[in-house]
Amino acid sequence: MLEQQLLNALTLGSVYALFALGFTLVFGVLAVINLSHGAVFMVGSYAALALVTHFNAPLWMAMCGAMLASGILGLLVDMLVLKPLRAREAPHLIPMIATIGVGIMLTSAAQGLFGAEVLRFPEETLPAGEFVIGDVHVRALEIAIVMIAFVLMALLFTILKYTQLGRALRAIAESPKAASLLGINVEGLFHVTSFAAAALGGIAGVLIGLNFNAITPYMGQPMLHKGIAVIILGGMGDIRGALIGGLFLGFAEVISKAYLSSQMGDAVAFGLLFLILLVRPSGLFGRKLERKA
Amino acid sequence: MEWFNDFWSTYSTLVFSVGVHILLALSIWLTLSCGLLSLANAAFMGIGAYVAALLTLHLEWSFGTVLLAGGVAPAAVALIIGAPVLRLSGVYLAMATLAFGEVVRITVLNLEITGGPEGLNGIPLSTEAWHIALILAVTVYGLARLRRSKVGRAFEAIKEDEIAARLMGIDVDRYKLLAFSLGAFIAGIAGALNAHFTFFISPREYGFENAVDILTMAVLGGFSNLIGPMLGATILTLLPELLRSLHDFRSLVNGAVLVLVVLFLPKGIWEPRRIRAWVQRFKGGRA
């Protein structure tokens, strides 16, 4: 029983981490809390579903398509909404408020286009197969989800750590102005970051949609809240923190749902987040508290 | 008078909600005027609504005391959580208040006394038009006086530059706490009023979306003065009624309004300086 729960937790936690990585990347590089990330997540799962049902695309192709679609969406949000605000040097809460508006628009558009009811992937498109190890039933789908999530995260870590692009991004995270003086194309890398972050959000949407096989226009909102919890747990803008925070939230949620009550599971996540903010606003693994007015 | 009776029987609920939304927009204006972006106002409204409804239903207190309790309860909560939460600023404060709102919503969803997900039913319809009008008048007058008082100027100084304000000898933490709990008080009264004309309340009405709606009203109207939030609340309450034909796409307009206002009218619709400039240009054109 416990092993089964742990497997659930690992599956959920790895997707939370993937989602939160995009979220925290945008905060680290652009210094914007992008509250449309939840809606982008939802759009990703609808895009994959549309590719599978309307174009009979195989699942892997649908995933790539969903990443592309949500990435382009993220790029558009950056170019049309965030860029003008950067140009105006708007106070940093203003972009956050604007992305709330974007999120509402996307959710409402999805509801108008696809309806409010739950949509599902056709059974035959899902990877079948189940292994039994001891008492634990492992679905092939869960293995695929965990693998995809970890491969993508490893890819992101490698890029950030070892490539010229990653060094440039880290320089921007320290100070966009200094980076620009060093000859880094800051605007261009803002676009790249927005694309990559949204693509990660979109694929996370596909994975959650597959795991529960349920897609609704409202699935982005709770995920956004979890993303916020994760990046605060891990420290805002902290890539490693997002990974550990995501896994931690997955475990905390599954365990509290199993041993407390199913509804209170969500409250535990937020209670935890609330506590962390009060005690250690820089996150569990954060360095010293920065006071940003 | 007959047309008025017709109008009133159809639209009284709408007029009531305009009043309640104006109160809510003013409550977030108060915290914003002190430089605090708090997303907890929907939760404070919910606490007010539930406390008031429960007092009416179980203890049968008179409406006046119920309203007062509906304001005092969330203000007390704000005082308690305010001390630690208000040490945070900017995005961190917004996230903390958002998390607080979710905790409140989920708690209400799971408690027995609040009726869980079904909410509370059969709340007597005690709210009358003059209650809302009176409370609105008192609030607006009070806030207008507050703006011009020592307290209001302290809020403004904190909003402009917290460190400078502290150096001038302003007790920043105390004023922030005051703005936060006074905002909670107003939001709570709005919630209590709302509960007593909608007959029914449920946790769904006090979630993140509602916190965002309240913020949108203030942002749309502009929060450099009191007229802005009132105008924003009125427009955003009436807009969905005018857009009935759009059905599912109605909240699309809300989102678009938020984005467009932030992009093109950073100070909101009601910005006295720009309006004066327009008037000047208009006069100039005619002369």
Provide the residue range defining the domain that includes A139: 2-116+134-279
The predicted-structure confidence for A238-269, as pLDDT tens digits, reads as follows: 888 888 889 988 888 888 877 776 666 667 77
Q: How many residues does chain A have?
A: 293
Q: What is the pLDDT of residues B233-267, one digit of tens each?
A: 888 888 877 777 766 676 788 788 889 988 888 88
Evaluate whether residue A238 is within a structural domain.
yes
CATH number of domain containing A232 = 1.10.3470
Residue B286 has what pLDDT? 57
Q: Is the pLDDT of residue B57 over 80?
A: yes
DSSP symbol at B225: S
Residue B2 lies inside a defined structural domain of this protein? no
Q: Is residue A97 within 8 angstroms of chain B, CB to CB?
A: yes
A positions 218-237 inside 8 Å of B (CB): 221, 225, 228-229, 232, 236
Residue A263 to residue B110, Cβ atoms within 8 A: yes
In a domain, A291, yes or no: no
Token pair 């958002």 in the structure block, residue:
B98
B160 touching A, CB under 8 A?
A: no
Asked whether residue B3 is assigned to any structural domain, the reply reads: no
On whether residue B5 sits in a domain, the answer given is no
The DSSP string of A229-291 is HHHHHH-TT-HHHHHHHHHHHHHHHHHHHHHS-TTHHHHHHHHHHHHHHHH-TT-TT--SPP-
Q: How many CB pairs under 8 A join A and B?
A: 130
Range of the domain at B134: 11-286
The number of folded domains in chain A is 1
Structure tokens at B111: 């408690």
Per-residue model confidence (pLDDT) at position B74: 94
In a domain, A174, yes or no: yes
Tell me which chain A residue has its CA closest to the CA of residue B260.
A98
- Looking at per-residue pLDDT, the higher value among A288 and B185 belongs to B185
Least-confidence region, from A129-133, B149-153, B216-220: A129-133
Identity of residue B168:
M
Q: Alpha-carbon distance B155 to B162, whole Å?
A: 10
If one counts the domains in chain B, the total is 1
Closest alpha carbon within chain B to A81 = B263
Q: For residue B6, tell me if it sits in a domain.
A: no
Check residue A264 and give its pLDDT: 67
Give every residue of chain A whose pLDDT is below 50, as ranges. Answer: 288-293
Query: Are A100 and B84 a contacting pair at CB < 8 A?
Result: no
- CATH code of the domain containing B117: 1.10.3470
- Closest among B184, B183, B154 to B171, alpha carbons compared: B154
Evaluate whether residue B231 is within a structural domain.
yes
